[in-house]
């Protein structure tokens, strides 16, 4: 990031905007695609139904959250923070948390069929929207934090120098 002159706050805001856009897309959905999928569901086998659920839930929701730009931005932000502080325990904690979250995501993805039967199609749609709102809120918090850090640490000191 130093090579390109990108500050940590700019990276935080960019990652937040990406998460916000993903959350908005998850919450609002795509009505044209939904109508097309409803038409296809009439003539679906169980394999086709599994593929449909995979396309509806895993690809638009899980993939950006597991390996998308928001995750990459978070890892870079937190690893840069731990490097800046200089504590090895913080870096090891970050690695441990990353492994733990990966294991938790693996268990959730394995239990997908059970969760679908448990909450049903309508419940799955509601949960998807709620989780999309959570993703949007996380993204917005990144933008707010990055903006306030820029104001406090960059803009305000320059203004105070002028007085």
pTM: 0.64
Contact 20, 134 (CB under 8 A): no
Report pLDDT for 68: 65
Report pLDDT for 147: 94
pLDDT by residue for the chain (163 residues), tens only, comes to: 678 888 878 888 888 898 888 888 888 876 556 555 555 555 556 666 666 665 555 555 555 566 666 667 777 777 777 777 777 787 788 788 888 888 888 887 788 778 778 888 888 888 888 888 988 898 899 899 989 999 999 898 888 887 6
Report pLDDT for 122: 85
SS3 content of the chain, % helix, strand, coil (to 5): 90, 0, 10
Report pLDDT for 140: 93
Tell me the domain boundaries of the chain.
8-161
State the Cα–Cα distance between residues 135 and 65, nearest whole angstrom: 9
């Amino acid at each position: 990031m130093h090579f390109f002159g990108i500050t940590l706050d700019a990276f935080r805001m960019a990652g937040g905007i990406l998460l916000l856009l993903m959350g908005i897309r998850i919450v609002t959905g795509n009505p044209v695609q939904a109508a097309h999928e409803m038409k296809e569901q009439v003539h679906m086998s169980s394999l086709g139904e599994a593929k449909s659920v995979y396309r509806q839930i895993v690809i638009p929701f899980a993939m950006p959250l597991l390996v998308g730009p928001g995750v990459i931005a978070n890892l870079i932000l937190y690893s840069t923070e731990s490097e800046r502080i200089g504590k090895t325990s913080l870096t090891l904690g970050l690695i441990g948390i990353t492994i733990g979250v990966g294991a938790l995501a693996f268990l959730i993805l394995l239990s997908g069929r059970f969760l679908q039967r448990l909450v049903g199609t309508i419940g799955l749609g509601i949960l998807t929207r709620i989780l999309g709102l959570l993703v949007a809120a996380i993204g917005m918090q990144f933008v707010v934090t990055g903006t306030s850090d820029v104001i406090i640490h960059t803009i305000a000191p320059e203004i105070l120098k002028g007085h």
